[in-house]
Each structure stands twice: as C-alpha cells, then as structure tokens.
C-alpha cells in the first residue's frame, strides 16, 4: 500500500512522518488536483480588475447579482472588497481568496490589490498562483503597474492570459494592442477572439476556434449575464448589427491575423511564452464567459514547487 509523506513540526524542528493510504484515496486526490485552478488577476489601477473579478463570480454562479465597484450608496459594494476603506475608495487594498465551482472545476480566484501602494501583498500572492489573467484597458494599452506585475509572473514562468477590457469605450486598434504586448512585455500573443467594433458600436466578438460570432445584448448596470446570440460571420444579422465600414474592417483584420498572427500553442502558453488574448467589456459582461471557459480549459492544475532544503 502506498505511503503519504509530510513534514511534522516538533520541539527540535521538523520530522518526516508517513502514513499508509489506499490506492483509491490517491486516485481521488489526483482527480481533485486536476480539477483545481488557482489564479490571480493583475492590472494597472482602474483597468477593471475588480469588476472582472465580480463578473467571473457572476458567471461562475458564486453570486446572483453583480456588485458595483463604484460603491454608490444605493448599490452593493464589490463582493471581494470587504474592508470599509475598500468600499469607500472603490479599490482593492487587501488580497481575498474567492472559491467557486464551475463546469466541473473548483476555482480559487485571488483578488489582489492593483494600486502600487499595496503592491507587496500582490507580489506575495503571485508566488502561490498557477496562472494569472492580465487585464488591460484597451483604450490605454500596457501601463506601468501592469508591466511590473507581469515581470514578477514572467520570472516564475507563470502562464498569463490577457483580457483586453473596456471595448465598450473608445479603444485602440486591436492589432496595435497585441503588437504592444510583444514590444513592451516581450511575450508573444495569440488572439482567441476578435472584437466587432468598439465604443458605443461594440457589438460582440468573433471566436476564432469555433468560427462563430457572439453578439451581445447589454443588460442594465451589467448586473446579470449578457444575452448572447451565436451565429456565423456571414449571417445577415451580423451585417445588420455593424455598419459597412466596421464590418469590412473586421473581415480584413480577421483575415490578417489568420494569415500572419501567431498560432495557438498550448505548451507555449503553459511555459509562459505565449499569452492567449481575449477582447471584451467586463462592466457589460461582454466576452466574460468566453474568457472563463477558455481559461479553465487551457490553464494548468497545481504543480509541484521546489523549496529550499530544511536544516
């Protein structure tokens, strides 16, 4: 019968203990490990990190009503912002572990402070995660705090998934945003979906893997899941939703990335060398479920870690 080993503290330090465990127990343990996903969300302040956290909880079924990060008097404060100061300032200043079950996975989401005044807490948390979601304001691109947090993750080889947020506002060209990832952060990128318009004209995203268009309907305050209509790019409904110039631009950009863009390589993603890129709007729930589903599919379960030898 296999033995489980662990370190047990005693008066003189640590001793190695062992116990017999059944094969079935080991199988159950491995199954539990394989279905766990532990990750953090990193970003520059105000890029939408805490909002995305709230929306992942909404789609994960952990909350029924998405809170408001603005902490207005007539709305709930964000679920992960539990300290009074966090509610008043509308920012996260402490790390919070949020756990929920979704699609057969047990998800541990670590909401970390984005503000530089509380970055030490974030740095400590990033040593415990198996992947990160990097949130970027699509109107601003890579910002200073994002770069610093990215470097912490890159040194450890942590898989990084990118969410280009705030497409519901005027945004930079999506190709320029992806080029910036490599130019500024030094990481290759692969677009998993593609935005259909931006700002007030943002209508949805094109899923490259499924070759389907996801058209979103806005919901009041983004409190509930956004209604989605899934169809093909050639569907007249898509052309109806987009003006002629936007439709032509989207077609041209999709053809360009299909021909010249980096292909998806799962091994490179897990090695932290390639970042899958998703476009959407956290506040309006656009693209959130596509991000969550793909992240859980392509991220890794907990891995073994090397630690210094004990004296």
Q: Are residues 18 and 56 in the same domain?
A: no
The DSSP code for 300 is -
Q: Are residues 154 and 220 in the same domain?
A: yes
Residue 10 has pLDDT above 70, yes or no: no
- Return the closest-CA partner of residue 136 out of 104, 105, 90, 169: 169
Judge whether 304 lies within some domain: no
pTM as predicted: 0.81
Q: Are residues 134 and 189 in the same domain?
A: yes
Q: Please compute the mean of the pLDDT values over residues 224-248 and round it to a whole number.
A: 88
Q: Are residues 98 and 62 in the same domain?
A: yes
pLDDT given at position 29 = 84
**Least confidently predicted of 57-66, 177-186, 271-280, 287-296:** 57-66
Q: Are residues 66 and 180 in the same domain?
A: yes
Q: Are residues 11 and 125 in the same domain?
A: no
- In sequence order, the β-bridge partners of residue 60 are none
User: For 47-89, what is each residue's pLDDT tens digit?
Assistant: 999 899 989 998 888 776 655 333 433 343 444 444 454 455 4
Residue 172 has pLDDT above 70, yes or no: yes
- Return the closest-CA partner of residue 250 out of 200, 205, 290: 205
Residue 164 has pLDDT above 60, yes or no: yes
Strands 105-111 and 96-102: antiparallel
Judge whether 25 lies within some domain: yes
User: For 16-56, what is each residue's pLDDT tens digit?
Assistant: 455 555 656 666 888 899 999 999 999 998 999 989 998 99
* DSSP-based three-state secondary structure for 56: helix
Q: Are residues 24 and 115 in the same domain?
A: no
Q: Are residues 24 and 42 in the same domain?
A: no
Q: Are residues 48 and 14 in the same domain?
A: no
Q: Are residues 223 and 170 in the same domain?
A: yes
The confidence band for 193, taking pLDDT boundaries of 50, 70 and 90, is very high
* Structural domain that includes position 6: 1-34
Judge whether 308 lies within some domain: no
Judge whether 171 lies within some domain: yes
The confidence band for 273, taking pLDDT boundaries of 50, 70 and 90, is very high
Q: Are residues 47 and 187 in the same domain?
A: yes
Dihedral over Cα of 82, 88, 92, 94: its sign: negative
pLDDT given at position 252 = 95
Judge whether 47 lies within some domain: yes
Judge whether 273 lies within some domain: yes
The confidence band for 12, taking pLDDT boundaries of 50, 70 and 90, is low
For the chain, the domain total comes to 2
Residue 94 has pLDDT above 70, yes or no: no
Here the CATH number for the domain that contains residue 170 is: 3.40.50.300
Distance CA 39, CA 48 (A): 16
Residue 287 has pLDDT above 90, yes or no: yes
């Amino acid at each position: 019968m296999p033995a489980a080993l662990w370190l047990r503290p005693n008066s003189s330090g640590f001793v190695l203990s062992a116990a017999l465990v059944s094969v079935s127990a080991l199988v159950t343990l491995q199954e539990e490990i394989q279905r766990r996903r532990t990750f953090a969300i990193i970003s520059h302040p105000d890029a939408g990190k805490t909002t995305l956290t709230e929306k992942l909880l909404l789609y994960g079924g952990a909350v029924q009503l998405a809170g408001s990060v603005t902490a207005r008097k007539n709305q709930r404060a964000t679920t992960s912002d539990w300290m009074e100061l966090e509610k008043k300032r509308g920012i996260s200043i402490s790390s919070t572990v949020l756990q929920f079950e979704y699609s057969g996975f047990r998800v541990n989401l670590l909401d970390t402070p984005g503000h530089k005044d509380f970055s030490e807490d974030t740095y400590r948390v990033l040593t415990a995660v198996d992947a990160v979601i990097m949130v970027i304001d699509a109107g601003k691109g890579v910002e200073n705090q994002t770069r610093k947090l990215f470097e912490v993750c890159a040194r450890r080889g942590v898989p990084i998934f990118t969410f280009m947020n705030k497409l519901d506002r005027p945004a930079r060209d999506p190709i320029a945003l992806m080029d910036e990832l490599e130019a500024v952060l030094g990481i290759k990128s692969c677009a998993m979906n593609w935005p259909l318009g931006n700002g007030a004209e943002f209508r949805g995203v094109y899923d490259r893997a499924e070759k389907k268009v996801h058209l979103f309907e806005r919901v009041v305050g983004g409190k509930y899941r956004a209604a989605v209509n899934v169809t093909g790019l050639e569907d007249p409904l898509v052309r109806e939703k987009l003006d002629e110039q936007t439709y032509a631009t989207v077609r041209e950009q999709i053809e360009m990335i299909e021909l010249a863009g980096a292909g998806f390589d799962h091994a490179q993603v897990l090695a932290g060398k390639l970042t899958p890129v998703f476009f959407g709007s956290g506040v309006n729930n656009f693209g959130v479920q596509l991000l969550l589903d793909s992240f859980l599919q392509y991220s890794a379960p907990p891995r073994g870690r090397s630690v210094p030898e004990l004296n």
